[in-house]
Amino acid sequence: MGNDITRSQVEDFLYREAALLDEWKLEEWLGLLTDDATYYVPPNDHPEGDHRTTLFILADDIVRIRERVKRLMSPDCHAEYPHSRTRRLISNVRILSVDGDLVTVAANFICDRFRRYERIREYVGGYRFILKRVGDGFRIKERRVVIDAHELGALGAVSFIL
């Protein structure tokens, strides 16, 4: 990969990630992360907050991301067993900045989640990723998911990887 990172390269990577998450290939998904990766979902009332001073919905370091995957793959993770079916659509992908081997990327998403006997739950929001260039591809260094809803409300649980 040269210095000129194209949007389509980033899109291909994000689509691949989305497919792994929707297919519940979470062990494989962990392979897309750097060894210091973080995953954040800020609170709906303060989406610009800092997780050290603001109560988030979710703020994982790599250790807890790996533990989260263990939990999600267990049949005793009741909120996600049987697994939700999810389908995510990603668009409006933009490369915001390139700083050395780090690429900051924004995208919009719609993630529809289905469980038995439930109406569809539709999560709408923005992704903001810091990708690290590794060889011919990327790894995710930071994964920030901002849900647009004023209140989490009916979206209730963020028990799967959003």
Partner 1 sequence: MRSYIVDDPVKKRFLLDREALVSEAVLKDEMACIFSKCWIYVGHSSELKKPNDFVTRRVAGRPIIFNRDMRGDIHCLFNTCRHRAAIVCTEREGSRRSFRCIYHGWAYRNDGALGGVPGEEAYAGELDKSELGLRRPARFESYRDFWFMNLDANAPSLLDYLGKATEYLDLVVDQSPSGQMQVVTGVQEYDVAGNWKLMVENSVDDYHLPTTHSTWLNYMANSGVKIERPTEGRVLPTKGLAIDLGNGHFTTDNVNFRGRPVAAWIPIYGEDAKPEMAEIRRELVERVGPDRANRIADTNRNLVIFPNLVINDGSSVTIRTFFPDGAGKMHVTAWALGPIEETESARARRLDAFLTFYGPGGFATPDDVEALELVQQGLANWEDDRWSEMSRGMGREGEQLNSDEHHLRIFWRKWNQMMESV
Residues within the interface to partner 1 (CB under 8 A): 41-46, 49, 51-60, 63-64, 67-68, 70-71, 74, 76-80, 117, 150-159
Nearest CA to 130 among 160, 93, 101, 90?
101
Beta bridge partners of 108: 91, 126
Instruction: Return the number of the residue (71 or 133) whose C-beta is nearest partner 1.
Output: 71
State in angstroms the smallest separation of the CB of 45 from partner 1. 5
Could you tell me the sign of the dihedral formed by the alpha carbons of 79, 44, 66, 129, in that order?
positive
Angular region, 134: left φ>0, alpha ψ -120 to 50, beta rest: beta
Instruction: Return the number of the residue (5 or 72) whose C-beta is nearest partner 1.
Output: 72
Instruction: Return the number of the residue (31 or 153) whose C-beta is nearest partner 1.
Output: 153
Radius of gyration of the chain (CA): 16
State in angstroms the smallest separation of the CB of 40 from partner 1. 10
State in angstroms the smallest separation of the CB of 25 from partner 1. 19
Instruction: Return the number of the residue (102 or 157) whose C-beta is nearest partner 1.
Output: 157
Let me know how long the chain is: 162
